[in-house]
Amino acid sequence: AGASIVEIGHAERRRLFGETDSDVAKKAAAVARNGMTPLVCIGEKSKSNIASQVVGIAVSECKPQIKAALSQLPDDADVILAYEPVWAIGASEPAGADHVVAVTQNLRALVAETGRKGRTRILYGGSAGPGTFQKLKDGVDGLFLGRFAHDVGNLEKVIEEMKEV
């Protein structure tokens, strides 16, 4: 069919179908084995109101998701991590830009510590729309668009914004 990227591990599949980190890791391996790039959805369920804990909680909940997926991938395989706090799914506002940048920078450092050779890109996918990428560009490589992309005008704005960076 010409697909080159396969989305796996979305929070809704984990919730509705009981997919585990192990299941997602096996799917990531199958995707890579068949010449495509796994796009692994990751994100924390917990939301703390204590500012000093927020990033640490997010990273600690995402770490096993990332480690599981990477453990099944060849060292030189490309992977895309789509970060979205589970608590932000369906929210009218995305997670704060400072939160997303801090978490994704920490996740990028976590992946770098593995020394893997394959390219790892990180996207943000929580209620992302026009204006989001400019705020997050220090932490992410792109956006994983959901409902905002259903409006062609919004999609066009996002594409134009990303071309400027």
Tell me the catalytic residues: 10, 84
Residue 11: what residue type? Answer: A
What residues contact residue 43 under an 8 Å CB cut-off, 6+ apart?
11, 58, 61, 62, 83, 84, 85, 86, 88, 89, 126
On whether the CB atoms of residues 24 and 68 are closer than 8 A, the answer is yes
C-alpha dist (Å) from residue 51 to 48, 54, 98, 108:
7, 5, 11, 21
Q: Strand runs (DSSP E) across the chain, as ranges? A: 5-8, 37-42, 79-83, 120-124, 142-143
**Token digits of residue 34:** 């068949």
Cα 72 to chain centroid, rounded: 18
